[in-house]
C-alpha cells in the first residue's frame, strides 16, 4: 500500500495496523532498533550541548566546576563552590539552557505536527499568524505603553504577546472553519497568511507613526527572539509547556500517521478528521503562543528540524515527534551558545543565529530534493 493508493475497501470502524514508514511518506525506514538508537543519540547530543551551554560564555566555567555546582544544588554531596560560580551556573545559565531547550523542543514538535496536518512542507509553528499576533501584543506594550506601569509591569509584555498570539490563532481557525467543524489544511494556510498580514500592517503603522527610535529598536529585538532574560520561574513554565505538549502529540502519533496519507485515507482508517485536526492544531497554537510570549519570535527551528528528522528517521510520528523535540532543543541551546559567545562585548539575538544556520541548510534540503526528483524523472 502506498500514499497514492489509499485503502477504500476497509470499513471506517475496523481496526488497522499502524502505518509503516514506507507507506506514510518518504524517508528511511526506522524500525524499533533504529528508533531507539536515534533517540539515544539525540538525547546524548542534547546533554552534551547543555553541558557546553553551562560552561561557555563571557566567563568560562570548567566542566568540573559546573558539575560541582549542579551536584551541590541537587544535594548530592557537599562540593566546595564559590558564590560567583553558583550564581553564574545555577542562577543565570542553567535556567537559560532549560528555557532554550524547552522552546526549541516545543517549536520543532509544533512544526512537525502542522506540516503533517496541513500537508504543507513549508508549514511552521507561526503558520497560524501566531508570531504576527504576538508582535501586535508586544508593540502595544512597547510602543503604546499599555499596561507598562504599575506593579504588574514586568508581566505586561509576555501577557500581551500571549493574548495577541492566541487571538490571532483563534481568528485564523474561525476563518478556516467558516462556521463549521471542517478545518482544511489549504484554507488554514491562507487564513494564516491573511491574518498575519493584517497584524503586520498594525505593527508597522504603530512603530513607524507612533513610535520613536528606542521603541522601534525594542520591537526589533523582541521579534528576533532571545532567552537572555529567562529565569527559573520562566524556565520551568516553558519546560512544562514543552513536555506536556510533546507527550500529547506522541499520544496522537497514530492519528498523525494516518494524516500522512491525506484526509480521505485518514477517514478510511477510522480517524475523526475534523475533531483530531481541531484538537491538534489548537494544541500547537497554544504551545506556540506560550513559547513566543516568553522568548519572542525564533524562526526556522520548527521549519527545518522536522525535515531533518524525516530525512534521518522516516516519517513515523512515534519517532518523528520525540526526536524532533530533542533535535530542536539541541539546535536552540547551541544557537544560544553562539549568540552569547561570538562577540566579546554583546549578545546576538538568537533568532539571527537560527536563521543563519537554518536558511542555508533548508536551501540545501530543497536542492537535494530537487536533484532527487530530477533523477527520478530521468529514470
* pLDDT value for 379: 47
Residues 109, 249 contacting (CB under 8 angstroms): yes
* pLDDT value for 145: 78
- DSSP code of residue 20: P
* pLDDT value for 373: 66
Buried/exposed 186-208: b ≥16 CB within 10 Å, e otherwise = ebbbebbeebbebbeebbeebbe
* pLDDT value for 213: 79
- Residue 288: CB atoms within 10 Å: 31
Q: What is d(CA 299, CA 275) in angstroms, rounded to the nearest whole number? A: 29
Mean pLDDT by 10 residues, the chain (379 residues): 42 41 46 83 95 89 89 81 90 96 97 91 88 91 72 75 92 84 81 93 89 81 89 95 97 93 87 90 93 92 93 92 97 94 86 89 80 63
* pLDDT value for 167: 93
Largest CA distance in the chain: 70
* pLDDT value for 46: 96
Residues 142, 161 contacting (CB under 8 angstroms): no
Residues 168, 199 contacting (CB under 8 angstroms): yes
Q: What is d(CA 58, CA 161) in angstroms, rounded to the nearest whole number? A: 30
* pLDDT value for 91: 93
Residues 297, 135 contacting (CB under 8 angstroms): yes
The pTM for the full model equals: 0.86
* pLDDT value for 150: 54
Amino acid at each position: 500500500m502506498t500514499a497514492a493508493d489509499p485503502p477504500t475497501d476497509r470499513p471506517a470502524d475496523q481496526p488497522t495496523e499502524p502505518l509503516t514508514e514506507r507507506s506514510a511518506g518518504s524517508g528511511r525506514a526506522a524500525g524499533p532498533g533504529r528508533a531507539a538508537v536515534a533517540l539515544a543519540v539525540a538525547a546524548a547530543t542534547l546533554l552534551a550541548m547543555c553541558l557546553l551551554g553551562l560552561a561557555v560564555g563571557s566567563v568560562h566555567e570548567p566542566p568540573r566546576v559546573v558539575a560541582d555546582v549542579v551536584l551541590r544544588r541537587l544535594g548530592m554531596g557537599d562540593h566546595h563552590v564559590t558564590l560567583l560560580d553558583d550564581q553564574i551556573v545555577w542562577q543565570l545559565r542553567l535556567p537559560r539552557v532549560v528555557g532554550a531547550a524547552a522552546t526549541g523542543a516545543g517549536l520543532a514538535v509544533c512544526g512537525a505536527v502542522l506540516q503533517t496536518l496541513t500537508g504543507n512542507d513549508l508549514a511552521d509553528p507561526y503558520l497560524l499568524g501566531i508570531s504576527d499576533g504576538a508582535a501586535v501584543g508586544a508593540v502595544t506594550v512597547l510602543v503604546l505603553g499599555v499596561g507598562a506601569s504599575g506593579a504588574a509591569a514586568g508581566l505586561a509584555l509576555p501577557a500581551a504577546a500571549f493574548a495577541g498570539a492566541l487571538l490571532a490563532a483563534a481568528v485564523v481557525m474561525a476563518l478556516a472553519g467558516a462556521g463549521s467543524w471542517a478545518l482544511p489544511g489549504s484554507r488554514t494556510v491562507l487564513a494564516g497568511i491573511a491574518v498575519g498580514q493584517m497584524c503586520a500592517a498594525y505593527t508597522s503603522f504603530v512603530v513607524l507613526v507612533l513610535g520613536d527610535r528606542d521603541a522601534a529598536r525594542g520591537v526589533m529585538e523582541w521579534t528576533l527572539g532571545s532567552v537572555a532574560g529567562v529565569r527559573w520561574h520562566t524556565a520551568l513554565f516553558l519546560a512544562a509547556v514543552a513536555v506536556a505538549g510533546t507527550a500529547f502529540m506522541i499520544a496522537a502519533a497514530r492519528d498523525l500517521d494516518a494524516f500522512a496519507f491525506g484526509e480521505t485515507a485518514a477517514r478510511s482508517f477510522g480517524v475523526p478528521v475534523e475533531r483530531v485536526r481541531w484538537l491538534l492544531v489548537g494544541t500547537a497554537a497554544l504551545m506556540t503562543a506560550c513559547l513566543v510570549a516568553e522568548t519572542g519570535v525564533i524562526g526556522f527551528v520548527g521549519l527545518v528540524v522536522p525535515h531533518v528528522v524525516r530525512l534521518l528517521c522516516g516519517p513515523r510520528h512515534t519517532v518523528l515527534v520525540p526526536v524532533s523535540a530533542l533535535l530542536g532543543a539541541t539546535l536552540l541551546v547551541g544557537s544560544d551558545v553562539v549568540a552569547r559567545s561570538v562577540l566579546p562585548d554583546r549578545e546576538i539575538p538568537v533568532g539571527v543565529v537560527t536563521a543563519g544556520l537554518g536558511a542555508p541548510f533548508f536551501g540545501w534540503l530543497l536542492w537535494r530534493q530537487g536533484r532527487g526528483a530530477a533523477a527520478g524523472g530521468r529514470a
